[in-house]
Amino acid sequence: MVADLLVRERRGSVRLAPADQPLIDAALRESADGAADRLWHAYENAGFLSRIRAFGMTGASFTSHAYWGAMTCSADDLSNLMDYLLNRLPDRDEIVDDLQHVSPVQHWGVWGAGSHNQPGTKNGWVNINGIWTVNTVGFAGQNARYTMAVMNHLDGEAGFPAGANTLTQVAAILFQGRQIPVPDVSATP
């Protein structure tokens, strides 16, 4: 959503207000649903889906109605989005900075790459009827050299902490060559 807003602002089709910047920061750094909701209701609509296809999110769809929280996508969609953000989004620095400065409650998933790898992450999760799907997308390495997008569907076998830990350990093994302590996480509102 933030990428869409920045692209549309650059084209002149929306005009973000100064009060929107803290909402963008909260949505990216804390996964604050309230901030994302305010941005969605102020600027987004059903056309969102066709616009994010330009970011490579060709498999994304709404699950029920046109709303950011009622969407499904694949790890490939998230990987394509990260590639777009890093390599084609004009003025990407704002998003990169937010993803590199997520709040401690978001220090999982790609964050497992370790601070020396300068990670940036946007984590996501959904619980539908007690079945968790947890995902992480981001980058690590000097100049955001490497990207990573992983989804973990827990099939009712475990909860959010287990999913977040699995994604963290994948990043830790890939970037640090070892497992790290289990992150202290909770699904933020």
Tell me the pLDDT tens digit for each residue of 109-161. Answer: 999 999 999 999 999 998 888 889 999 999 999 999 999 999 998 888 899 99
Mean pLDDT of the chain: 94
Q: How confident is the model at residue 41 (pLDDT cuts 50, 70, 90)?
A: very high
Q: How confident is the model at residue 189 (pLDDT cuts 50, 70, 90)?
A: low
- What are the residue ranges spanned by the domains of the chain? 1-99, 102-180
**Is pLDDT at 74 greater than 80 in this prediction?**
yes
Tell me the pLDDT tens digit for each residue of 92-104. Answer: 999 999 999 999 9
81's enclosing H/E stretch is: helix 75-87
Greater confidence, 90 or 68?
68
Q: 């920045």: which residue's tokens? A: 6
Q: Give the model's pLDDT for residue 141.
A: 96
DSSP letters, 114-142, are -GGG--EEEEEEEEETTEEEEEEEEEESG
Task: Read off the pLDDT of each residue in 73-77 and give the average, rounded to a whole number.
Answer: 95
146's enclosing H/E stretch is: strand 146-153
Q: Is the pTM of this model over 0.85?
A: yes
Task: Read off the pLDDT of each residue in 54-72 and give the average, rounded to a whole number.
Answer: 92
Q: Give the model's pLDDT for residue 91.
A: 82
**Is pLDDT at 176 greater than 90 in this prediction?**
yes
DSSP H helices in the chain: 2-11, 20-30, 33-43, 48-52, 75-87, 93-100, 160-176
